[in-house]
Amino acid sequence: MKNVLLVHTGGTLGMAGRRPDALKPGSFFRTVRERVPELTKLARVEFHLFANVDSCELQPELWAELATLLYERLPRYDGAVVTHGTDTLAETACALSFMLKNLPRPVVLTGAQRPLKEIRSDARLNLIDAVTAALHGPKEVTVCFDSHLFRGNRVRKVSVSEYDAFDSPNHPTLGVLGVDTRFEKGLSRRGRFTLEAEVDPRVFLLRVFPGLDPAIPLAILPKVRGVVVEAYGAGNFPVSKALGRSLEPFFHEARRRGVPVVVVSQAQRNGVDLSLYESGNVARASGAISGGDMTVSAAVVKLMHGLARHRGDALRRYLERSVAGERG
């Protein structure tokens, strides 16, 4: 029988209590053994309690610790499952995909919309599917939810209360776990398994909206090392000087200060093309970097990871190429 490492970080899946009462962390591993005995028929599951917190408390420093744990222990197993709260599951999946290079085994993140102890919980099936994917799925960081397997750095949380909480608008699923299971090959290894756990969280996410005062992002520039701009459509933002709300001075000042700016789209499908419109050309002329079809989560986490390891042109090249399948 194969061996699977199950790492618990917290979140709804492992909580006890009934809504609308406040949910509190429960005795997760005992509950898993009681509620999902089928796991023992799939593999020898070894539990590890990494944390027991709401996912909003899983900060970049914990991403690095989690990646280090997986790097050290994964070679002894046939795969790993990480249980995680849904709110920042996408960010953790992105971080692990950049930090763990050339994975020799699958690493599958999953969670739940209802705690495992509740009636009609989706946690039980998500756990069974995640362990199945950890045994037979592609050797990369993935997210398993609602019987679908997604590339970890391509997912977005799209629902708060439905069980199909995640989607991957710009990349096909890597697996479907229905009556039969089907998995795609996934990424190919290009070298030995390595750990790159460094991260610099001094990044700001700027969402463009009508009425945005350019003085606000300008005031932020001295305090950050990188900015992700969530622009309209293909990378648009106001450049007209008529009402004093042009963001052109922000891009110029970012370049003067050496602060890299990555532009992504607010639209879920397709991506940024800075050559299409005037504002995009303004951004390009100021040295802005197109995020292509990366999700906002992927762009933010990749910039954090890149800033810790690269400078100047090397950072630009890192951001513009696909490192772990995060962009087309």
Query: DSSP assignment of 133-147, as one string?
Result: HHHHS-SSEEEEETT
Q: What is the CATH number of the domain that holds 175?
A: 3.40.50.1170
Closest CA to 28 of 19, 12, 43, 15: 15
Record the pTM.
0.96
Q: Where are the alpha helices (DSSP H) in the chain?
A: 28-35, 39-42, 60-73, 89-99, 123-136, 215-220, 248-257, 278-285, 296-307, 312-320
Residue 325 lies in a domain: no
Same domain, 162 and 285: no
Catalytic residue among 54, 78, 87, 273: 87
296-307 helix and 89-99 helix, angle to the nearest 10 degrees:
40
Q: Amino acid letter at 197?
A: A
Q: Cα separations (Å) of 265 from 247, 250, 274?
A: 16, 18, 11
Residue 25 lies in a domain: yes
Give residue for tokens 């890149």. 306
Same domain, 116 and 241: no
Of 195, 227, 257, the one marking the end of a domain is 195
Structure tokens given for 250? 């922000």
pLDDT higher than 60, residue 316:
yes
Same domain, 255 and 152: no
Of 141, 164, 195, the one marking the end of a domain is 195
Q: How far is CA 200 from the centre of its chain?
A: 16
pLDDT higher than 90, residue 19:
no
Catalytic residue among 117, 139, 157, 302: 157
Same domain, 170 and 215: no
Is 213 one of the catalytic residues?
no
Residue 295 lies in a domain: yes
Confidence at residue 242, expressed as pLDDT on a 0 to 100 scale: 87
Confidence at residue 30, expressed as pLDDT on a 0 to 100 scale: 86
Which range of residues forms the domain containing residue 30? Answer: 3-195
Q: Amino acid letter at 173?
A: T
Catalytic residue among 12, 31, 88, 132: 12
Residue 328 lies in a domain: no
Is 83 one of the catalytic residues?
no
Structure tokens given for 146? 């609602």
Confidence of residue 17 (pLDDT cuts 50, 70, 90): low
Examine residue 20 and say whether the peptide bond preceding it is cis (omega within 30 degrees of 0): yes
Counting residues of the chain whose pLDDT is more than 90, the rounded percentage is: 91
Same domain, 44 and 158: yes
List of residues 6+ apart from 191 with CB closer than 8 A: 101, 102
Same domain, 208 and 104: no
Same domain, 159 and 98: yes
Same domain, 90 and 187: yes
Same domain, 63 and 181: yes
Same domain, 33 and 182: yes
Q: What is the CATH number of the domain that holds 275?
A: 3.40.50.40
pLDDT higher than 70, residue 287:
yes
List 187's β-bridge partners, or say none. Answer: none
Counting residues of the chain whose pLDDT is more than 70, the rounded percentage is: 97
Of the given ranges (24-28, 55-59, 132-136), which has the lowest mean pLDDT? Answer: 24-28
Catalytic residue among 31, 83, 86, 92: 86
Residue 327 lies in a domain: no
Is 157 one of the catalytic residues?
yes
Confidence at residue 138, expressed as pLDDT on a 0 to 100 scale: 98
Structure tokens given for 39? 């796991």
Per-residue model confidence as pLDDT tens digits over 165-174? 999 999 999 9
pLDDT higher than 90, residue 135:
yes
pLDDT higher than 60, residue 3:
yes
Is 173 one of the catalytic residues?
no
Q: Is residue 288 within 8 Å of residue 274, measured between CB atoms? A: yes
Same domain, 182 and 255: no
List 141's β-bridge partners, or say none. Answer: 107
The full length of the chain comes to 328
Domain count across the chain: 2
Residue 247 lies in a domain: yes
Residue 326 lies in a domain: no
List of residues 6+ apart from 79 with CB closer than 8 A: 2, 4, 5, 105, 106, 107, 108, 131, 133, 134, 135, 137
How high is the mean pLDDT of the chain?
A: 95
Residue 299 lies in a domain: yes
User: CA 44, CA 124: separation in Å to the nearest integer?
Assistant: 17
Per-residue model confidence as pLDDT tens digits over 33-61? 999 999 999 999 999 999 988 899 999 99
Cβ of 179: how many Cβ atoms within 10 Å?
Answer: 5
Confidence at residue 115, expressed as pLDDT on a 0 to 100 scale: 92
Of the given ranges (23-27, 68-72, 87-91, 270-274), which has the lowest mean pLDDT? Answer: 23-27
User: CA 151, CA 277: separation in Å to the nearest integer?
Assistant: 31
> What's the rounded mean pLDDT across residues 142-170?
97
Confidence of residue 21 (pLDDT cuts 50, 70, 90): low
Same domain, 288 and 209: yes
> What's the rounded mean pLDDT across residues 171-194?
96
User: CA 44, CA 2: separation in Å to the nearest integer?
Assistant: 6
Of 129, 160, 195, the one marking the end of a domain is 195
> What's the rounded mean pLDDT across residues 19-40?
78
